[in-house]
Structure 1
């Protein structure tokens, strides 16, 4: 049965996603309903009911936002598919995700991650204890959202030793351990008790005690239920002495250290179903509370249940944190690129980069060695964290001409252009490159998932017939950079007569080819990069990623990680989101004013950018810094006592033999050759002398990248 939408607020809505090219199955009871939403458009959907012929409920003509509603007339087993074949790199038919909202008659707990070994429901404003065997997994779930849960763990063989926040922060060097290298919670013996595997919330507390009777007494609520007393009641049967206040790890408690040194708290960040997944590193006695606070903002004034699930050590769970495209979007856990099976044999040092695990450096070399290899030889690095969007349809050019600062109408087929995307006030949303694959066919490669959302919003607002489909999971990419990159790549790539060869490929152009010959792995190769050196980016389907990586390494490319890449891009004067630009920074202030076309045609932010260009307030400059002391992002820049700017990126340059930085300064104090000082400590007690210099610091004429 079809309806326009689901609108029964008294029932419970469960949300899941069908990945492009995949299928999900679930049960519906009589009277329950589903709404299938094609957020990106043009994605078919097949609905299968056990015992019946599958039906196509959405097809490739579906517009963005199209939906289908089905109400079960009897208890049914349902399967939903988002059909689509793997996308070749030069194609644009990316299978995309479907959002499914399930209207349930009864409240359902979040789906288990695997086979559940034990389940503990911690009712609102209570605490429970439980035992966990070494190697088993502990999942702490905020069922309804905005509910804090203190967590205790003790060595089962020595109950006097439990989790210690101070030891954990000291050894990990972080406020809160997360998946990756800094993932463990320690006891006071400096022995790890649990390892964090997943975290879908990202904001927790490790500053203070669990709430106690005293905290409520002092606030004027004597006798109020509290987590410390609840823990005492839950632990007494195990012979653990009571405490007035338990030093716990408080999951989902939104606290931060303010600039003035105070601890501030606000409502919990967690959404319904958010969780932390941990692995026990020894036999443990654990306890969880559901925080009893209903008088402050901690739990949104409404304590609710916490669910704890235990999974057997035989289960295998990926590591990751959650990323959301928009505040209400699906949380996606950190994923591995198609190159991970190859790179993981060469290093265990990975960083979480915008939703992907990518190597920071490689075991056999290190950042400086990898940096030198790029400047003198040739390197290969995984850049799959970049977002890719396929923009197609009769109004694709009109959409990009409206959304981007460059004049996309001048872009030729086979050409690439660097551009910015701005808000109406001129602040930057993103930067990236656009490829033109055909008259109405473009690919936007950028850093933010929101860029795709923004393009779809603009298309809908202006009534433009354009599809914006996310192809990030269909296109992984490596960067091959260095003065020998052309020499290495040219003999490996076959290109048909209609496409330029690697030797013929010009700067900011791309070609379509294959690895090794006419029947080899399909690729798109662009002469672009993020290092300031001659180089290329190679785009491939993830299923072929390992073969491509191995071919580059076997031909002589040295693996390079993000640490070396960051050094290279700073020297080359290339900007990074959150450093050189944000939504408070326009392209001129970010040092990329060249990416704003002087055109009369309307584009988003045009008028604001004209005003800003005519009356600049801040300017991005290069700094050459005296001495070898470290300088960091966020350090203040001074002229005399007055702060006139801030360091956006800094490094110790191996090739220039000095510390250099990019900094955003007040335009009045941004003259080349002027002396400034970088403030350390409180910005006044200690200063490092610096001089404003031209940037890029290295190869300012860009002769190497143009070679």
Structure 2
């Protein structure tokens, strides 16, 4: 089937069936569908009423039982009777990336699509990955709201350039949807009980910014909007855009008059009309929450605006904290970029308080990707029992610190005993196929030909101009089998594009949702894990495991991969398992570690540890404008790598003629130093602070900074600028880094010899040399 046309009268809808999950969608008779396999080797199961679909399908096999069960469960949750439904297989386990299967709806139908695949063990490379669904329909091309999140109590269309008012009960959820994208929607909410007493208490943006410490509240701890009494009225539960305005008034008659458009429709007058039945006094300008309005406060305090970031179907989900009278507008502005010059509809849905919705902020891997809400790691059931202080980190909820003692205690546990931390947001990619080594050799700066099976190497991945895409570690699982672990989702796209461009037969499969991991770090980490991890005879034990090596084994019968790697500068390990088994792995490690003083560790303490150890962090020490030398990881770019790789010529040139260098700074005094602070010699700015902390173990403020090479010599006196960079200066001195344990003797520490390694005699070898699983 050829590419689906996206011109009228066809409407093209794109959906994603996540690996390991089932997607349910509606089709009308005549709708044409394409299922794309972006990563390759991913079959899918279509489940629909018999005779509802026509296409080139294959029969379902015994391997498809789990996918069929997921599809049936998802349909049943929609109230669909599946007794006369049938399953069909499309695509296969050997298709190339970008493979397509097509079918058509013979009748109106509710359909489920499920990627086929079982849970992946940590030493396997068979993750179920996403399938992309395109539906070409003769339904109207615009104005179609997405499927409800649940059964709505209110389903309200706010026509372009109008406003509507509505009541919401305490605890109910309010979903404000940008139907066609790039359309602002002003939002007002009033305490309904106070209105009945003749008092108006509505949302107050100034109070909200003050109490939340943020320009716009978002999902998480700082999520509430307040009134002038400092009483919370609503909280944000989900946000698929993350770009709104709470600084400017809703558009008013005065704005249009000043622009030369007297009598123009405006949100303020529309609000006044909509709220009149509730006895709310009209205003000349309403201080609304302007969802999807893209304003920016510049360094000169000027406020500018641009087109909204919102796409068709983007939304904000709020929860009412008391009975409310609300009003939502579709902004009438068609004389500037506020609504991309063309006002369109807004849709409002209200859901019952009994519904349950996860909290989340949406992320897109690429501009055209489907948004994905913040998710919880497999360890979240355990970490959430210990703290409510979670922050959104790269699409996951991670603990900032733990409630009982805080980041300083967590830090000292890692330095003196041991600590456990959730590192599941690290992105994992399985790279396999006959050209897997050639692909990795092309993609990263290290020499993959020197990497032995069972070994790990830290490396950089760069663009052609030498700027960094990411840093990460490569695990070699076999002759043609690698695992790339990094922080950036885009790495998978980049690797697949490289393979296609160079005609390499290699697959890059995303395994992030099949491999969650904790770091077990600190001087006692080996002692804790060697009592837990049982390895087969052909694999090293934890006691025998060398730095930057990994082993395969089990913890209380659960398959794990354990690597001797970390991000703290201490002796440490990472333990990888399937998310379904993560709580049990956490429990086992905590049971062994707590008697030895082990503590859970959050992001604040981890930041202290990694800065002391001089470890680079994306967005701080490096970005796409920074090469590995400027990021302080020039050791990851060996001179002896002969094979060409992406960025090699640029990096050779940058090595020979460096302009900036990452250095350590010892800072005088105890004033706060932050990322982005300017570094000066005299009046001239000669660099920038990338990371800084008050070091608990060193008792002083230390920093990493990227400086002009002219001033990067050890002992050079510099100043860190505060305020405008000139009015206030903090003295500092250029020093070597890492500031702590510069010889890395702690992380390299070897175990005392033991006479009897912990080998499980029940684990035998299969023909490929991997441990059999019970």
Scaled by the length of structure 1, the TM-score of the pair is 0.98
Whole-angstrom CA distance in 2 between matches of 1:328 and 1:178: 23
- Alignment check: 8 A CA contact 2:165 2:327 kept: yes
- Alignment check: 8 A CA contact 2:332 2:343 kept: yes
Does residue 383 (structure 1) correspond to residue 381 (structure 2)? The answer is no
Number of residue pairs aligned between Structure 1 and Structure 2: 702
Structure 1 range deviating more: 436-445 or 150-159: 150-159
Give the one of 702, 705, 713 matched to 1:671: 713
Does residue 528 (structure 1) correspond to residue 527 (structure 2)? The answer is no
List aligned pairs for 1:142-541, cutoff 5 A: 142-159=178-195, 160-516=200-556, 520-541=557-578
- Alignment check: 8 A CA contact 1:5 1:69 kept: no
Q: Which deviations, in whole Å up to 9, do the C-alpha atoms of 1:428-451 show, x marking residues without a partner? A: 000000000000000000000000
- 1:126 equivalent in structure 2: 162
- Alignment check: 8 A CA contact 1:6 1:69 kept: no
Q: For the aligned residues, what is the CA RMSD?
A: 0.9
Whole-angstrom CA distance in 2 between matches of 1:357 and 1:48: 33
| SS of structure 2 residue aligned to 1:152 | strand
Whole-angstrom CA distance in 2 between matches of 1:216 and 1:473: 50
Whole-angstrom CA distance in 1 between matches of 2:274 and 2:112: 43
Give the one of 622, 625, 640 matched to 1:581: 622
Q: Which deviations, in whole Å up to 9, do the C-alpha atoms of 1:210-244 show, x marking residues without a partner? A: 01111111111111111111101111111111111
List aligned pairs for 1:532-681, cutoff 5 A: 532-555=569-592, 556=594, 557-598=598-639, 599-681=641-723
- 2:18 equivalent in structure 1: 19
Whole-angstrom CA distance in 2 between matches of 1:340 and 1:491: 24
Whole-angstrom CA distance in 1 between matches of 2:2 and 2:253: 52
- Alignment check: 8 A CA contact 2:24 2:112 kept: yes
Q: Which deviations, in whole Å up to 9, do the C-alpha atoms of 1:26-54 show, x marking residues without a partner? A: 33222111110100110001223312553
- Alignment check: 8 A CA contact 1:402 1:603 kept: yes
Does residue 113 (structure 1) correspond to residue 155 (structure 2)? The answer is no
Does residue 75 (structure 1) correspond to residue 108 (structure 2)? The answer is yes
| SS of structure 2 residue aligned to 1:575 | coil
Whole-angstrom CA distance in 1 between matches of 2:587 and 2:601: 14
- Alignment check: 8 A CA contact 1:4 1:69 kept: no
- Alignment check: 8 A CA contact 1:116 1:311 kept: yes
Whole-angstrom CA distance in 2 between matches of 1:302 and 1:8: 20
Q: 1:8 to 1:320 in 2, by over 3 A?
A: closer
Q: Which deviations, in whole Å up to 9, do the C-alpha atoms of 1:111-152 show, x marking residues without a partner? A: 111111111110000000000000000000000000000000
- 1:44 equivalent in structure 2: 43
Q: Unaligned stretches of 5+ in structure 2?
A: 52-85, 750-774
Whole-angstrom CA distance in 2 between matches of 1:619 and 1:25: 52
| SS of structure 2 residue aligned to 1:491 | coil
- 2:771 equivalent in structure 1: none
- Alignment check: 8 A CA contact 1:511 1:524 kept: yes
| Residue 544 (structure 1) shift | 0.5
- Alignment check: 8 A CA contact 2:161 2:331 kept: yes
Whole-angstrom CA distance in 1 between matches of 2:221 and 2:26: 39
Whole-angstrom CA distance in 1 between matches of 2:245 and 2:121: 45
Q: Unaligned stretches of 5+ in structure 1?
A: none
- 1:7 equivalent in structure 2: 5
Runs of 4+ in 1 over 6 A off after TM superposition: none
- 2:132 equivalent in structure 1: 99
- Alignment check: 8 A CA contact 1:428 1:583 kept: yes
Whole-angstrom CA distance in 2 between matches of 1:340 and 1:240: 45
| SS of structure 2 residue aligned to 1:158 | helix
Whole-angstrom CA distance in 2 between matches of 1:265 and 1:24: 37
- Alignment check: 8 A CA contact 1:84 1:95 kept: yes
Structure 1 range deviating more: 677-686 or 553-562: 553-562
| Residue 8 (structure 1) shift | 4.4
Whole-angstrom CA distance in 1 between matches of 2:501 and 2:338: 38
| SS of structure 2 residue aligned to 1:231 | helix
- Alignment check: 8 A CA contact 1:22 1:83 kept: no
| Residue 376 (structure 1) shift | 0.2
| SS of structure 2 residue aligned to 1:161 | coil
Scaled by the length of structure 2, the TM-score of the pair is 0.90
- 2:66 equivalent in structure 1: none
Q: Which deviations, in whole Å up to 9, do the C-alpha atoms of 1:326-350 show, x marking residues without a partner? A: 0110100000000000111110100
- 1:699 equivalent in structure 2: 741
| Residue 76 (structure 1) shift | 3.2
- Alignment check: 8 A CA contact 1:164 1:247 kept: yes
Whole-angstrom CA distance in 1 between matches of 2:26 and 2:273: 40
